[in-house]
Amino acid sequence: MASHRRPKQPSRARVTVLTTAAAAAVALTSQAANAAPSEKPSKDEVKAKVDKLYEEAEQATEKFNGAKEKQEKLQKEISTIQDNVARGQAELNELRDSMGLAAAAQYRTGSIDSSVQLFLSSDPDDYLDKASTMDQLSAQQVDALKKIQEKQRELAQDRSEAAEKLKDLASTRTELGKKKKEVQGKLAQAQKLLNTLTAREKAALAAEQASASNESAGEALGAGAGSGRAGAAYAWAQSQLGKPYVYGATGMSSYDCSGLTSRAYAAAGVSIPRTSQAQAGIGTKIYSVSQLKVGDLVFFFNDLHHVGLYAGNGQIIHAPRTGTVVRYESMGTVGGPFMFGVRV
């Protein structure tokens, strides 16, 4: 006879587990179906990110330039002090030798006096104090000892100053290395982003930049040439159009922003500081664009990390950033606010 026993029902706990698992599976499947595939950033998005990285790299570049300039200045100062110390030591040795010869002559004649003996065996400062009351020195010996005393003081001061500057130099070199790494890191990040673009996208970006520069050039050339030394600096900058931006460069094959402006004014016979921040502190400040003249220095961003030369009609000539060349550009597309101009 067939069995009529009912099949064993699953426990309530097992039903709950199975139900939960099934719901999770359905949810995951639904999420997978609805999730958008990972999208590659657009050309404009890449450009915006790259421009930001280049701006940060330029900020670090101007700090790098400042540290490099300080290093060069310290090296020159240290070299001068070391030369002074060498000359001073030679003079001191000569003074001591002359005193020694005088003592030797007195010894040979048996007339060496207590004053020379004291000099040869004790500190000149202490001895001069004693000699002033004992009247044991001749006028010539007093003069010689005073010269030795003064030369010793000068040498001690020079050596102390050299030691401090050497410490400052070591600190500056450390800062220089950090800023160089920071710049290189930003540029590497930017290049990595640019590498995500197709050849067609890269060509499109280059074409956009070239078109904008050509339009700015037309506007600038319509403003005419400058005059005086500002005009001479501007004319020289025009001769550098098309040369690439390289951080830390001052020509003649490449430039960064302040490298171009400092070299342009040097070509006009005017020495100005190396960095944009230092250049902002010279001359007469001009806050209205309408008051600017061709060749005036123009500064951008709140920290003044970018500088160019005014080209007229709201245009500038400058070395913008890595990946570009010396070119014309509208002041409104530099990427940061115009702060003021400087007439040198």
Query: Catalytic residue positions?
Result: 257, 306, 318
Q: What amino acid is encoded at 79 in this protein?
A: S
Bond into 252 cis (ω within 30): yes
Going 166 to 170 to 171 to 172, the CA torsion angle's sign is positive
Q: Whole-angstrom Cα distance, residue 343 to residue 229?
A: 10
Closest CA to 309 of 279, 269, 271, 278: 279
Q: Whole-angstrom Cα distance, residue 250 to residue 262?
A: 8
Going 308 to 276 to 281 to 80, the CA torsion angle's sign is negative
Longest dimension (CA), the chain: 153
**Count of CB atoms situated within 10 Å of the CB of 308:** 29
